[in-house]
A and B are shown apart, each in its own frame.
Chain A
Amino acid sequence: MRTPSSRPRPTPSRPPLSSRPLDTDKLYTARLQAVRARPYLASALFALHVVESESVPTMAVDGYWRCYVSPGFVERTPVEELAGVWVHEVSHLLRDHHGRGDRVARARGLEGAGERLRMNIAADLEINDDIYGDGLVRPSGAVTPAGLRLREGLLMEEYLREFQLGPSTAEFVWLDCGSGADGRARGWDLGPDGADGLTEQQRDAVRFRVAEAVKGAPGDAPEGWKRWAETAFHPPQPWLELLGAALRSAVSGAGAGQDYSYGRPARRASSLPGVVLPSLRRRPPRVAVVIDTSGSVSDAELGSALLEVAAITRAVGGRRDLVTVVSCDAAARVAHPLCRAEDIPLIGGGGTDLRAGFTTALRTRPDVVVALTDGQTPWPPQPPCRTVVGLFPRTGRGRWRETDPTYVPEAPPGWAKVVEIG
């Protein structure tokens, strides 16, 4: 955490020495206030183990849920700001910033202390844009998206792309929330074998209790926390891989693709007289792709999804005469050029009603129908074949019907495999 910029800044390497003991009463008073302001974070706040440390500039956490506290920082910070710092630090741990920091560092090749500082700032931005207010003050000098002229409500990984170290971040260069915020080990860390650390299972249990508490108090928790609680144990999955898996599973299931049959004797049978063996027969599936090209689906969304579908159908079928694409709108801007590139025949459909698209698609008697849509459409009754629905996510800003304000689009039906795209 940080102190106001008006105060002399401690250097990162050597903060001012203080011989005074830690004022635990003040620290715990602040924790009590934090618990009263954010009751759903109580188990996480109480699970933190306080370690007094002279080498920490302010307050810092490690991945084992220890909280290192500088006595001098506690002394010069008012109780209500300390409460905000408590919640800030515990948020780093709940949102797994050290694990995510490591993953980002590996994925994007971000090495070195400078990059880790950027991660710390990005993690702070993710936290600071929604935890304060409503009984909790933002500590003075806290880094905010507005201060760096960035949008609010992004994730750490997104903020990382948005800024570079420079004059605007100069006042935060000494900022340090510890290894719990960015994954880089610090000198003061007690490490995995030190006393009072939480094991992975204990950390999961605490995070789970907090997630349940947030879900149990939906009125009190801000949006950011609710989103976190939803995804804490079920992180969103890579949709490209899921779409691929759903499609492969649909085309290789019984009734299509490659499977055993007793229709003709196996080649192996000649060496085993008296034994009846099935033989392996391959029947490539017919695939029909129904694309909802109404205005609410963006070109980029469609393009990426369609490329993947084309690649998969190439892999499983290989025969272009078996693939049909039906666009469910007159303005098939993306679908046409793409399909020309992939040499897939395009059959026009009408309207934005997906039922019409399905009717057209079923005329080619496919084994699998793949529908790419934002889901805001009426659905046909169960078609006589396997169906994979790639769903572009739409939250809150659904299409409406002018004549009927209470109109709610139907959700994708249960008979289809549904993959959330994006």
Chain B
Amino acid sequence: MPENTQLSLADDLLALLSDTTTEPRPDQQLEALTLAVAADLPVLLWGEPGIGKTAALNQLAESLELPLTTVIASVHEPSDFAGLPVVGDDPAVQGVPMAPPDWAVRLVRAGRGLLFLDELSTAPPAVQAALLRLVLERRIGALRLPPGVRIVAAANPRSSAADGWELSAPLANRFVHLQWVHDHDVVVRGLGGTWPRASLPVLDPGKLAGSVEYARRAVCGLLAVRPKLVHQMPSAETRRGGAWASPRSWDMALRLVAFATAAGASREVLSMLVRGTVGDGPGLELLACVDRLDLPDPESVLADPANAELPTRGDLRQAVLDGVVEAVRSRPTRARWDSAWAVLVHALETGAPDLVVVPASTLASLRREEWDVPVEIERLAGVVALSRGADRAAAKVRAGAGS
């Protein structure tokens, strides 16, 4: 058979193989990446080789309508990033200019674009050192990247890196670290011919001012009561090179909370971003703080007990009830005390009774002598019985342990 027929058959087969469709599918990693890039923070994707980091970047560039420039760090020399020293006629008079590479010139001329620094961890140290100046100061030789250029880097985790490189603590602090993992279902379905198409978060113009205020309230509310969280250098070897909390990374976290709020992103996405910026512990505390911001305000619950929207989840409901009792304790008046009892009765009628026991006994202890017992207390009789039942059971356990 003639050769060209064979080749055209091969082309047909390749065309059939590449004939794939897409389906909408939420992708939280991609959402997190989009938000961080939109917020103009340098992102570092950590992931094993070959799990689709580059493919994700292609999709991101397409959806943000930014031209993508990929630079494989490991095949470049340091001077490709720091600038090539070109000796002119009279170096003593003119100096030696550091000439930037062509891709940098094109990026600067375009004024906008997505710069993807791939294989960061397999580049020799001198190349990495030159790259970090690019990431941090946005300078390549004599050029400075315009603000419209966004930078994303990718690295292999230390356990699978071909030669060891780890971020020093100051450098790690400047990145949003995202762990990139593959989703088994997505891979299987994709190889079967259907790849996912993620709908990316879009900022809502009406929410911009509100989300800044919200983010500031969350971060400042947390740091005001937990000053230790402001600066936490990683100490253990296993956590080195990852995200850690500092005023700089808190500023980044604040920005990310604002962006996630304005885009209406889910808590999972926010969790990835925040934990990848300030580290797991401080990140989780910030998320808990954000959760509390979403709980009903104790004062508004006290103002209208009958229509209060109490959360259905037990631990959140308990937090609201505790907050209500604390509010009464901080400013005890007869009306507020009565109103708090009404809240507890409302809670009892709409949810599990054991949650009411502790707030009820605390509230009872706040009573002043001149205050009469409100009628609502009658309806809490079941709670008292429940509490006694628990006491009896505990006594039985103690008796059993003693015998």
Interface stretch of the complex, out of B140-148, B249-257, B393-401: B393-401
| Contact call A31/B238, Cβ cutoff below 8 A | no
- A274–B393 CB distance below 8 A: no
Q: Is the CB of B237 within 8 A of A205?
A: no
Whether the pair A260, B77 counts as a contact (CB closer than 8 A) is: yes
Residues of A within 8 A of B285 (CB): 208
Instruction: Pick the residue among A79, A242, A274 that contacts B390 (CB under 8 A).
Output: A79
The answer, yes or no, to whether B403 is at the interface (CB within 8 Å) is no
Q: Which of these, B125, B281, B401, contacts A252 with CB under 8 Å?
A: B125
Q: Is A342 an interface residue (CB 8 A)?
A: no
In the docked arrangement, what's the CA distance between A204 and B274, Å? 13
Interface residues of A in 257-294 (CB under 8 A from B): 258-260, 266, 272, 274-278, 280
Partner of B159, one of A28, A32, A49, A241: A241
- Nearest CB in chain A to that of B159: its residue: A241
Mostly helix, strand, loop or mixed at chain B's interface? helix
A30 touches B (CB below 8 Å): yes
Query: Is A249 interfacial (CB-CB < 8 Å)?
Result: yes
Q: Which of B12-20, B59-67, B161-169 contacts A (4 or more CB under 8 A)?
A: B161-169
Write the nearest CB–CB distance from B348 to chain A, whole angstroms: 11
* B369 smallest CB distance to A (angstroms): 29
Are A248 and B164 in contact, CB atoms less than 8 angstroms apart?
Answer: yes
Q: Does A36 sit within 8 A of B, measured CB to CB?
A: yes
Least CB distance from A367 to B in Å reads 14
Chain A residues with CB below 8 A from B78, complex form: 260, 278
B118 to chain A, nearest CB (A): 19
CB of A60, distance to nearest CB on chain B (Å): 18
A143 within 8 A of B: no
User: Once bound together, how far apart are the Cα atoms of A258 and B165, in whole Å?
Assistant: 13
User: In this assembly, does A61 line the interface, its C-beta being within 8 Å of a C-beta of chain B?
Assistant: no
A406 to B223, CA, bound (A): 40
| Interface status of A408 (Cβ within 8 A of chain B) | no
A201→B164 contact, CB < 8 A: no
Which chain B residue lies CB-closest to A255?
Answer: B125
Q: Tell me which residues across on chain B come within 8 A of A25, comparing CB atoms.
A: 353, 382, 385-386, 389
Please pick, from A32, A417, A419, the residue contacting B354 in the complex, using a CB distance under 8 A: A32
Chain B residues within an 8 Å CB radius of A200: 268, 271
Among B84, B164, B284, point to the contact of A275 (Cβ < 8 A): B84
Taking CB atoms, residues of chain B closer than 8 Å to A24 are 352-353
Q: Mark A178-201, 1 if CB is under 8 A from B, else 0.
A: 000000000000000000101111
Q: A28-B354, A33-B390, A205-B284 are in contact. Are A48 and B164 (CB under 8 A)?
A: no
Encoded as 1 (CB less than 8 Å from any B CB) or 0, chain A from 86 to 130 comes to: 000000000000000000000000000000000000000000000
**B83 → chain A closest CB, angstroms:** 11
Size bracket of the B interface: 35 or more
B312 touches A196 (CB 8 A): yes
Give complex CA distance A202, B313 in Å. Answer: 11
- Cβ distance A164 to chain B, nearest Cβ, rounded Å: 30
How many residue pairs between the two chains, A and B, have CB atoms under 8 Å in the bound complex?
180
Contacting residues of chain B (344-365) with chain A, CB-CB under 8 angstroms: 352-355, 357
Query: Is the Cβ of A249 less than 8 Å from the Cβ of B164?
Result: yes
Do A36 and B165 touch across chains, with their CB atoms under 8 A apart? Answer: no
Pick the residue among B85, B288, B314, B353 that contacts A48 (CB under 8 A): B314
Q: How far is the CA of A194 from the CA of B280 in the complex (A)?
A: 28
B267 partner, pick from A32, A199, A244, A245, beta carbons under 8 A: A199
Chain B hits for A78, CB < 8 A: 393, 396
Closest beta carbon of chain B to A311's beta carbon, Å: 14
Look across to chain A and name the residue whose beta carbon is closest to the beta carbon of B395: A80
On chain A, the residues within 8 Å of B313 by CB distance are 46-47, 49, 196, 198
Fill in one digit per residue for B169-194: 1 if any A CB lies within 8 Å of its CB, else 0: 00000000000000000000000000
For B238, B270, B281, B317, which residue has the most chain A Cβ atoms within 10 angstroms? B238
- Find out whether the CB atom of B158 lies under 8 angstroms from the CB atom of A209: no
Q: In the complex, are the beta carbons of A29 and B386 less than 8 A apart? A: yes
Asked if A201 and B400 make an inter-chain contact with CB atoms under 8 angstroms apart, the answer reads no
Is the CB–CB distance between A37 and B394 below 8 Å?
yes
Chain B residues with CB below 8 A from A26, complex form? 389
Say yes or no for A234: interface residue by CB 8 A criterion: yes
- Determine the chain B residues whose CB is within 8 A of the CB of A196 once the complex forms: 312-313
Closest to A204 in B: B284
Query: Are B287 and A201 closer than 8 Å at their CB atoms?
Result: yes
Decide if B353 touches A28 in the complex (CB within 8 Å): yes
8 Å CB contact of A43 from B281, B315, B354, B385: B315
Q: Is the CB of B87 within 8 A of A245?
A: no
Interface membership of B239, Cβ < 8 A: yes
Stretch at the interface among A13-21, A131-139, A216-224: A131-139
Partner of A259, one of B126, B266, B317: B126
Q: Is the CB of A276 within 8 A of B85?
A: yes
The residue from B85, B280, B387, B397 contacting A233, defined by CB atoms under 8 A apart:
B280
Q: Chain A residues near B161: list those with CB within 8 A.
A: 245, 248
A202 to chain B: which residues have CB within 8 Å? 267
* Apart from the given pairs A29-B386, A32-B389, A79-B390, 17 other A-B contacts in the complex at a CB distance below 8 Å: A28-B353, A32-B354, A32-B387, A196-B312, A205-B284, A208-B284, A208-B285, A209-B315, A248-B164, A252-B163, A259-B124, A259-B125, A275-B84, A275-B85, A276-B87, A278-B78, A278-B126
Residue pairs across A and B with Cβ atoms less than 8 A apart, 18 shown, are A25-B389, A26-B389, A29-B386, A29-B393, A33-B394, A47-B313, A78-B393, A133-B401, A205-B284, A234-B280, A242-B159, A248-B161, A249-B166, A250-B164, A275-B84, A276-B85, A277-B84, A418-B237
Residues of A whose CB lies within 8 Å of any CB of B are 24-26, 28-33, 35-37, 42-50, 78-80, 83, 133, 135-137, 196, 198-202, 204-206, 208-209, 233-234, 236-238, 241-242, 244-250, 252-254, 258-260, 266, 272, 274-278, 280, 417-420
- Which residues of B are at the interface with A, using a C-beta cutoff of 8 A? 77-79, 84-88, 99, 124-127, 158-159, 161, 163-166, 236-239, 266-268, 270-271, 280-281, 284-285, 287-288, 291, 312-315, 317-318, 352-355, 357, 382, 385-387, 389-390, 392-394, 396-398, 400-401
